[in-house]
Amino acid sequence: MPKKLKAGFYSLACCEGCEIVMFDLEENFLKALDFVEIVDARLFNGKHPGEKLDIAIVEGCVESEVDKKHLLEIRERCKYLVAFGACATIIGIPGIRNALPKEIQKKLKRKAIIPVKDKAFPISAFVKVDALLQGCPAFTHEILDVFVKLYHGIVPKLEEVPVCSECRERENPCLLFEGIPCLGPVTYAGCKALCPSERAQCIGCRGFTEDGNFEALRKKFQEMGIPKKEIYNLFTYFNPDPFTKKMEEK
């Protein structure tokens, strides 16, 4: 039988929800163990610190010097590093503080940790990331797909496809036409339009596409009567990225 890939799961600043999602794979997770050996993971009782890895799957963002040190050590040990979930790929919920007004940021207490800087960072800010597993939490079908592709030496790449494409496939009515502010036009697909299919707005947990027309969407929100502050909050809820701060200036 071909050699198994050695994999490890690691958590930085996050809720560890993405790692728990692994158990939702159920029988497919057991099938994955035919070609993947989990050698280092706190939740799976596999602890072999220092062992070389084929795949390191990291969830959470970098908030402290401890996070940064741990991440750099992981990168040294692995061939492929996979950013796992919104916190690792786009900072996610911990990054909300990045978009807070400066007067509020100054009041945040950081006595428990030594911050890298006065903000949170996606792991790509410090190390090379080979593949992304997006979402909050990440989706089980994509986790298995990454395992299979890396086993065959194929590095997964993102496609510039928005959530709107999946809404059309599922014949969902457009929430924008119903007065519901939705980030589907500028957010990466792959979730099977989970939220819009339940008539819940997309809030961008899978990250923004590079070619999204943000200005047009911002103007659409204005036409819908959404206050400027609410528009800014929506764009920065999961994606406190530098270019979204431009929305504050509009």
pLDDT in tens, 147-183: 999 999 999 988 889 999 999 999 999 999 999 999 9
Residue ranges of domains in the chain? 5-151, 163-249
The CA distance from 180 to 193, in Å, is 15
Residue 70: the pLDDT is: 93
Pick from 95, 92, 84, 89: nearest CA to 20: 84
Residues 6+ apart with CB under 8 A from 180: 199, 201
pLDDT at 231 over 80: yes
Span 15-27, average pLDDT = 82
Q: What is the pLDDT of residues 173-216, one digit of tens each?
A: 999 999 999 999 999 999 999 999 999 999 999 999 988 899 99
Residue 155: the pLDDT is: 92
Residues 38-61 as b/e (b if ≥16 CB within 10 A, e otherwise) read bbbbeeeeeeeeeeebbbbbbbbb
pLDDT at 3 over 90: no
Residue 154 CB coordination number (10 Å): 11
Is 61:88 a contact under the CB 8 Å cutoff?
yes
pLDDT at 234 over 50: yes
Sign (positive or negative) of CA dihedral 167, 236, 188, 121: negative
Q: What is the pLDDT of residues 93-135, one digit of tens each?
A: 888 878 777 777 676 666 556 666 778 899 999 999 999 999 9
Q: What is the pLDDT of residues 32-66, one digit of tens each?
A: 888 998 888 877 665 666 788 999 999 999 988 89
Pick from 184, 194, 191: nearest CA to 214: 184
Q: Which two tokens stand for residue 122?
A: 């996606």
Element (H, E) at 11: strand 5-11
Sign (positive or negative) of CA dihedral 96, 101, 102, 104: negative
Which fold would CATH assign to domain 5-151? Rossmann fold (3.40.50)
3-state DSSP percent of the chain in helix, strand and coil, to 5: 45, 20, 40
Whole-model pTM?
A: 0.86
pLDDT at 246 over 50: no
Residue 102: burial class (beta carbons within 10 Å; 0-12, 13-18, 19+):
exposed
